Amino acid sequence: MDSTTDLIVAPATAPQPAARSIVRLAGDGLSGVLRQLFLSADGSPLQLPDLQQPAQLINVAFHPEALGSVWGKLPVAVLFWPGPAGPLGAPVAEVQLPGSASLQAAFVQEACRLGARLARGGEFSLRSFLAGKIDLLQAEAVVAVIDARTPQELSQALDRMAGGVGRSVEELREYLLDLVADIEAAIDFADDLAPDAVPVPDTTQDAITPKIQHVCRQLDRVTHQLAGRDSGGQGGLPRVVLAGAPNIGKSSLFNHLVGRDAALVENASGTTRDWIAGELRDTAGIVSCLLVDLAGIGGLYESGDWLVAERDVSAAADRVAREEIQRADVIVACHDSDSDPLITVVDSTTAECIHVITRADQQQAEKKMAGPQEWILTSVKAGVGVEKLRQRILKIVSSLDRATPATIRLRAGLESARESLVQAEKSMTGCDGLPSDEALLAVLLRHAIDALGEATGAVVGTDILDRVFSRHCIGK
């Protein structure tokens, strides 16, 4: 395993034209490498803040013995955190360069020549987690921010990164740790053994039970908050994609389902070049999912002459459509009424699939209905089957579990912790009329503490760490 103090470097922004690009560096020897890379803007040796100073934005110039000999004088700045107060709990620098992919690559290469190594995916986030700057829930939210494709998804991911739920759970865990400390102190210093100067905590039922009940109420509040987030508004909407070959009526079906002319409809292949999204509402007018109209994909199906039909959709649009299919929660596979009845959707996704025949007012629609799966016959022109399709989508969407891996783990941790707390409260009454067992009480409370720690990452195995951070991008 790589050291967590190695000097690492990676682009933090995409290598594409932009006003600015950012490269991030962190680890042992950072200050020395920065002094080899840069001079101060006035040409003097680079001065960096010491450990006691706050972060500073420093205007710099490339060192003439490094990139300056090739790139000359360019507007460059370094945001430098000198010590443990920074986002990684150690010195870290974000170098702000002009937005050139070539310059960004050259800078990373030069940093590696001077002793840095390229960061692995998620390594910056892992160091932040290990330093206690973020919890595991926030670390997983970084992935959600990177993957966000709509303003709503980004808003929800940023809200998770803010760490509200994680902080609440960690505060409850700290509360329980203090409670266990009091109970174990009472066990160690019984009334007849405690020195006069050592106060023995009150561990009677009247003192402990209200504290356990308080934590239970707070856990219920967090659980309710999680449930609201999972079903939650715009950011957590399931994605339902309309997929199929070009020019088979997907956009007409999409417009009819969302109730407005959001997608352009023409009798020509390749009219839709990018995905278009709209909200699908239930009978009560509540938004239930995000409906996505994709560009036509010639190779979406495994067999039949459809593979070679309508190849004029651009490669970029085809790639984007395939990516959206992989992200979908539900796929509405649209089939033309004139195409081969043996067409099947490729088995490259675990999403629920609904088979639909579009433009069923045209000929030969009936033969497509044969087969093990029920196909929905639709015709926007004739007003046939669209409402049936809507109800099928809504039924499937209502059964989906939209929780992220982080939320699933947190939910399980909350349930396990609450169960242990309930048992702890019951133990306060004693068994068969005997006094309560303080040692058993402490064990049950520790079970609750461990469950909460596993949920937030305060206590976590290396297997979970590998799963979380392996999904991060390099530079994050």
Q: What ranges make up the beta strands (E) of 267-336?
A: 276-281, 287-293, 330-336
Closest CA to 17 of 96, 95, 103: 103
Strands 276-281 and 239-243: unpaired
- pLDDT score recorded for residue 160: 60
Helices (H), 271-372: 315-327
Tokens describing residue 474? 């390099």
Confidence band for 36, pLDDT divided at 50, 70 and 90 = very high
pLDDT digits (tens, 9 = 90+) for 9-26: 999 887 777 788 899 999
- pLDDT score recorded for residue 270: 43
pLDDT digits (tens, 9 = 90+) for 386-439: 899 999 998 888 777 655 666 677 778 888 889 999 998 888 775 544 446 778
Confidence band for 348, pLDDT divided at 50, 70 and 90 = low
Q: Is 409 exposed, middle or buried (0-12, 13-18, 19+ CB in 10 A)?
A: buried
- Among the ranges given (107-116, 188-197, 353-362), the one the predictor scored with the smallest mean pLDDT: 188-197
Confidence band for 232, pLDDT divided at 50, 70 and 90 = very low
d(CA 351, CA 3): 39
d(CA 228, CA 267): 43
The CA R_g of the chain, rounded to the nearest whole Å, is 29
* Whether the predicted pLDDT of 112 surpasses 90: yes
